[in-house]
Chains A and B, each alone.
Chain A
Amino acid sequence: MRRAGAAAIFLLVIAGAAILSIGVAAQEGILTLRVEPNVVEVAPGASASGRIVLRNESLREADDVEFAWTGATGIALATTPQSVSVVGAFASSTVAFTLVAAPTVAIGDVRGSLEVLYTYCIDELCFQIAETVPVDVRVAATPQTPSATALGETDGFQPASPDVGAWRWWVLAVTVLLVLVAAALGRSRRIRTATALALVVAGVAVLVLGVRLDQHTQAQAVGAVLCTSCVGIETVEVQAPRLSTAQAAAVDRLSKPVELLVFYATWCRSCPYAEAMVDLVATRNPLVSYRLVNAETERGLAAEHGVTRAGRTVVPAIVRVDTGEVLFGAEKLGDRLVGLIEEGM
């Protein structure tokens, strides 16, 4: 019987996995883009190089990043920049590009732009994102920057962060193997000491490597922002938001402007539903206005509006600015949101 009881608990653990598989998505970009140098200087008929830094600010991977050039007559890409297969969570990647100026291009400042196309996925749902970053080009007879090169050459810009390639899996495999060896050791004191020393070396190496790759920041970020569906405070709403007849009538009755702040995180599963619900209400009655606030980057604003509870920022959170009242989560949001905005009307 006791064995059956313990087995039942374990089965509960496994069964929970099946019960709680859920997912919806956000549609906002997850990369921040920066072009270096600020102004790319190029002589007519020559080429010049720049680079674009892709910084992934979210917990999701950005996949298949591709580039295209638009605008700035007489300026073009010498070759299409190499696409990036993956920009990992909290990672950065740098891609060099070479611009070529036509011999007849006029001297002066022009602005073109790089279009960056990529996808990211939450569970089975994937989104294609197109973002544009402006590139300022100065066409000068004698460029001041040393980046001008002969046509077709690259300038050898190196990625800012260390390249993490296939070797990382080898480092991981060797270290894990060492841990497993330690677990299976016999009583020989010498072998135990040698294994412990090897583990010290491996442990320090992977710890330093992890810090260099900014994984400690990733760890901190995972804990600092709490998504209500991620630790089982609520389930994710997967249906499109709707207002019942009574809720819609209540929204229509509003007579004064109401300003809302919607705090979200790019990786939060409950946030898209909350954003869509607020948008639905704001579309129905223009007296309702709202602003989306990234809780990860706007920590001060989150603390100011009570979205940070006991040191933890909780998303999704909807704040009514004039009363300071806060709604957390997305469960039964229609009723709660209508209650929030009709208060005092």
Chain B
Amino acid sequence: MRLTKGRRLAQGAGLLLGLFGATGIGMTHILFPGLHCYACPWAITVCPIGLAQNLVIFGTVPFFWLGAIIAYGLVAARGFCGWFCPFGTLNDLLAFRKVRIRANLSYGKFVVLIATLIGAWALTDTVFCKLCPAASLEASLPYLFLGVAKVNGPFLIHMATLGLSLVGMVLVARFWCRYLCPMGAILSLFNRVSLLHVQWRPSSCTGCESCIAACPMGVDPRSEHDSHNCIKCGECVSACRPDCLTLRVGRRRSE
């Protein structure tokens, strides 16, 4: 329970950082460690996916971007999805049903990532931004109320992608994070080297599988706790009665 409360607090902090522009602070140089639209009227951070597309369009070698991503990856990797990302938090809040999809669609997020970069290069346009449900929620809707956006074709496309994503989130826990998030795909590359990690001790495991039932990403925490799907949320750790799963920060121990 302590872990869950801590995560809720961290998710609140992520939301606070995402909307910190409401205090009057303008855009900073910081990349957000998650999917959060820089066009959001209250954003003070830059969306890594939006920036990546711009860098592809400009032909810039992305040193600054890559350095920031490596820093986030080494600290928590997909832990930012589970503990900090506001769009991930929305996924959590809407997880009313747990429909199990047997097919392994989790590589879809890598396809989205590659399609995003190729789309930016081929069309010299921030194509993903025009479809991104986070942008729909955090930019299109606020700007409609601020009198900047209008109900037009691009707005309706944004609403359609948002609507489809919301339906997916209600039916499948962490639908966006599991299958489609390009930022999750990038952070997942660091899951095996990040300081924040889940540790499993097989010697004390009773095989009750309560961890599998608790996992919002639908993975088996015993064998997949450092796979690209684990968001290090710690739900499996809370559910594990024999305490053979732990969430740790620091060096990894032999399993």
Q: Is the CB of A224 within 8 A of B60?
A: no
CA distance A122 to B37 in the complex (A): 24
Q: Does A220 contact B (CB under 8 A)?
A: yes
Q: Does A249 contact B (CB under 8 A)?
A: no
Q: Is the CB of A189 within 8 A of B26?
A: no
Q: Is the CB of A213 within 8 A of B130?
A: no
Q: A61-B59, A89-B60 are in contact. Are A206 and B152 (CB under 8 A)?
A: no
Interchain CB contact (< 8 A) of A20 among B65, B127, B152:
B127
In the complex, how many angstroms separate the beta carbon of A242 from the nearest chain B beta carbon?
A: 20
Interchain CB contact (< 8 A) of B164 among A9, A17, A164, A179:
A9
Interchain CB contact (< 8 A) of B146 among A17, A61, A310:
A310
Interchain CB contact (< 8 A) of A207 among B60, B71, B165:
B71
**A215-B62, A232-B158, A309-B143 given; 13 more Cβ-contact pairs under 8 Å:** A6-B179, A23-B124, A169-B61, A182-B190, A199-B193, A215-B63, A231-B126, A231-B135, A233-B143, A233-B148, A235-B153, A310-B142, A328-B148
Q: A3-B103, A196-B193, A207-B67 are in contact. Are A224 and B26 (CB under 8 A)?
A: yes
Q: A220-B46, A232-B157 are in contact. Are A209 and B31 (CB under 8 A)?
A: no
Number of interface residues of B (CB under 8 A): 91
Closest A residue by C-beta to B186:
A179
Stretch at the interface among B10-18, B86-94, B105-113, B231-239: B105-113
Q: Which B residues touch A123, using CB under 8 A?
A: 124-125
Q: A233-B155, A328-B148 are in contact. Are A168 and B29 (CB under 8 A)?
A: no
Q: Which B residues touch A328, using CB under 8 A?
A: 147-148
Interface residues of B in 23-57 (CB under 8 A from A): 24-29, 31, 37-39, 41-47, 50-51, 54
Q: Does A175 contact B (CB under 8 A)?
A: yes
In the complex, how many angstroms separate the beta carbon of A210 from the nearest chain B beta carbon?
A: 3
Q: Is the CB of B130 within 8 A of A232?
A: yes
Q: Is the CB of B189 within 8 A of A180?
A: yes
Taking residues whose C-beta sits less than 8 angstroms from the other chain, chain A's interface range is 35 or more
CA distance A230 to B149 in the complex (A): 12
Q: Is the CB of A164 within 8 A of B61?
A: yes
Q: Is the CB of B60 within 8 A of A215?
A: yes
Q: Which A residues touch B137, using CB under 8 A?
A: none
CA distance A217 to B31 in the complex (A): 12
Q: Count of A-B contacts with CB under 8 A?
A: 254
Interchain CB contact (< 8 A) of A232 among B47, B62, B154:
B154
Ordered nearest first, which 10 A-B pairs have the shortest CB separation? A207-B67, A210-B64, A203-B70, A210-B63, A310-B41, A232-B130, A215-B64, A223-B38, A183-B189, A224-B27
Interchain CB contact (< 8 A) of A2 among B70, B103, B157:
B103
Cross-chain pairs A/B with CB under 8 angstroms, 20 sampled: A3-B103, A16-B131, A17-B115, A20-B154, A60-B58, A89-B58, A172-B62, A176-B66, A183-B228, A199-B74, A199-B190, A203-B67, A207-B68, A210-B67, A222-B46, A223-B47, A231-B135, A232-B154, A311-B41, A312-B41
Q: Is the CB of A210 within 8 A of B65?
A: yes
Q: Which B residues touch A206, using CB under 8 A?
A: 63-64, 66-67, 70
Q: Does B2 contact A (CB under 8 A)?
A: no
Q: Is the CB of B115 within 8 A of A234?
A: no
Q: Does B208 contact A (CB under 8 A)?
A: no
Q: Is the CB of B180 within 8 A of A220?
A: no
In the complex, how many angstroms separate the beta carbon of A194 from the nearest chain B beta carbon?
A: 10
Provide the main secondary structure of the chain A interface: helix
Q: Is the CB of A175 within 8 A of B115?
A: no
Q: Which A residues touch B129, using CB under 8 A?
A: 230-232
Q: Is the CB of B251 within 8 A of A193?
A: yes
Q: Which B residues touch A218, using CB under 8 A?
A: 60, 64
Q: Is the CB of B192 within 8 A of A185?
A: yes
Q: Which A residues touch B160, using CB under 8 A?
A: 12
Q: Is the CB of B252 within 8 A of A192?
A: yes
Chain A, residues 303-343, CB within 8 Å of chain B (1/0): the string is 00000011110100000000000001101000000000000
Q: Does B5 contact A (CB under 8 A)?
A: no
Q: Which A residues touch B103, using CB under 8 A?
A: 2-3, 6
Closest A residue by C-beta to B153:
A235
Q: Does A160 contact B (CB under 8 A)?
A: no
Q: Which A residues touch B70, using CB under 8 A?
A: 175, 179, 199, 202-203, 206-207
Q: A6-B105, A310-B22, A312-B27 are in contact. Are A185 and B61 (CB under 8 A)?
A: no
Q: Which A residues touch B24, using CB under 8 A?
A: 311
Closest A residue by C-beta to B138:
A231
CA distance A199 to B147 in the complex (A): 45
Interface residues of A in 255-313 (CB under 8 A from B): 309-312
